[in-house]
């Protein structure tokens, strides 16, 4: 796995340091943003990171990249062993909003319907989560701060994060947003189809055994149904700056 911004210790170096019992660098501030699909997380998290000058980490993109590898290898997303084999020799890189799989830019491929349909199954395997959670923790080391968005950031990846937010919105509104995203990518879908798809993914993401989607008890919940992106961003930035 490779997701190492310039100037940081590589995975092998960190592992060696851990084995030697060396003190790891103190974790920089983390803003954890969790929530279901279509809650506005990605757009909001990107803007918050920009406003604060923090690293932006889209953890969903990492699960999507693993899913793409599983599908490309012709493996079964539901089969634990098959998926574990697909993890061998995998390297995932993040560079701003671009995602790399074994060095190749897969930012578009990870958003296809095929990947979206299979990502919940792939992300339910404990080995996949273990692998990516480790990488996500490494990404947050040695940077000024990071804004990490996903499903389990405030509950599992950084339970001690200084700031935690849980974004949610009415399912129909979430479906409308997803429909607009798909249309922008040239894929027109009926609203009811998108709604069913979103509800099914919510169900799988919240009912899985390992790290299910849920709000951390100490997260600030924001219902984004009737809020503009700028309002949500402003609210979060004010919290982080201690102005709220």
**Cα(75)–Cα(142) distance, integer angstroms:** 36
Tell me the CB-side half-sphere exposure of residue 58, using CA atoms within 13 A: 24
Residue 35 or 145 with smaller CB distance to ligand DC: 35
What strands, in cross-sheet order, belong to the sheet with 146-150? 55-58, 146-150, 30-34, 163-168, 220-223
Q: Which of the stretches 22-30, 60-68, 88-96, 162-170 binds ligand DC when contact is defined by CB under 6 A?
A: 60-68
Sequence-distant (≥ 6) Cβ neighbours of residue 181 within 8 angstroms: none
Q: Which of the stretches 75-83, 94-102, 145-153, 222-230 binds ligand DC when contact is defined by CB under 6 A?
A: 145-153
Q: Which of the stretches 2-10, 78-86, 144-152, 172-180 binds ligand DC when contact is defined by CB under 6 A?
A: 144-152
Q: Is 131 in the site for ligand DC (CB under 6 A)?
A: no
Residue 159 or 244 with smaller CB distance to ligand DC: 159
CA distances from 3 to 54, 94, 99 (A): 16, 6, 10
Q: Is 35 in the site for ligand DC (CB under 6 A)?
A: no
Q: Is 5 in the site for ligand DC (CB under 6 A)?
A: no
Q: Is 152 in the site for ligand DC (CB under 6 A)?
A: yes
Residue 59 or 224 with smaller CB distance to ligand DC: 59
Shortest distance (Å) from residue 165 CB to ligand DC: 14
Shortest distance (Å) from residue 214 CB to ligand DC: 12
Q: Is 125 in the site for ligand DC (CB under 6 A)?
A: no
Q: Is 31 in the site for ligand DC (CB under 6 A)?
A: no
Site for ligand DC in 177-216 (CB under 6 A): 201, 205
User: For residue 176, which phi and psi values (nearest 5 degrees)?
Assistant: -60, -45
Shortest distance (Å) from residue 104 CB to ligand DC: 19
Q: Is 154 in the site for ligand DC (CB under 6 A)?
A: no
Q: Is 37 in the site for ligand DC (CB under 6 A)?
A: yes
3-state helix, strand, coil in the chain (%, to 5): 50, 15, 35
Buried b (16+ CB within 10 A) or exposed e, 179-216: beebeeeeeeeeeeebbebbeebbebbeebeebebebb
- Size, binding site for ligand DC by CB under 6 A: 13
Q: How many other C-beta atoms are found inside a 10 Å radius of the C-beta of residue 144?
A: 10
Q: What is the DSSP letter of 214?
A: -
Sequence-distant (≥ 6) Cβ neighbours of residue 178 within 8 angstroms: 37, 38, 194, 197, 198
Please report, as ranges, the residues that interact with ligand DC according to CB under 6 A: 37, 59-60, 63-64, 119-120, 123, 150-152, 201, 205
């Amino acid at each position: 796995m490779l997701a190492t911004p310039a100037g940081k210790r590589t995975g092998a170096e960190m592992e060696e340091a851990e084995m030697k019992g060396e003190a790891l660098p103190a974790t920089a501030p983390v803003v954890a943003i969790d929530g279901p699909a279509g809650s506005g997380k990605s757009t909001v998290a990107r803007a918050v990171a920009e406003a604060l000058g923090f690293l932006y980490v889209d953890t969903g993109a990492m699960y999507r990249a693993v899913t793409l590898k599983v599908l490309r290898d012709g493996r079964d997303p539901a089969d634990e062993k098959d998926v574990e084999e697909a993890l061998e020799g995998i390297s995932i890189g993040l560079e701003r909003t671009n995602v790399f799989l074994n060095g190749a830019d897969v930012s578009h491929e990870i958003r296809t319907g095929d990947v979206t349909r299979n990502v919940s199954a792939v992300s339910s395997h404990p080995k996949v989560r273990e692998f990516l959670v480790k990488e996500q923790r490494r990404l947050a080391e040695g940077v000024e701060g990071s804004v990490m968005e996903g499903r389990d950031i405030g509950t599992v990846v950084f339970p001690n994060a200084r700031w935690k937010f849980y974004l949610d919105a009415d399912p129909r509104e979430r479906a409308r947003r997803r429909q607009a995203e798909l249309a922008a990518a040239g894929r027109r879908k009926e609203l009811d189809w998108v709604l069913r798809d979103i509800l099914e993914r919510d169900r799988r993401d919240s009912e899985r055994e390992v790290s299910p989607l849920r709000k951390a008890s100490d997260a600030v919940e924001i219902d984004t149904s009737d809020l503009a992106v700028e309002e949500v961003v402003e609210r979060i930035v004010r919290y982080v700056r201690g102005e709220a």
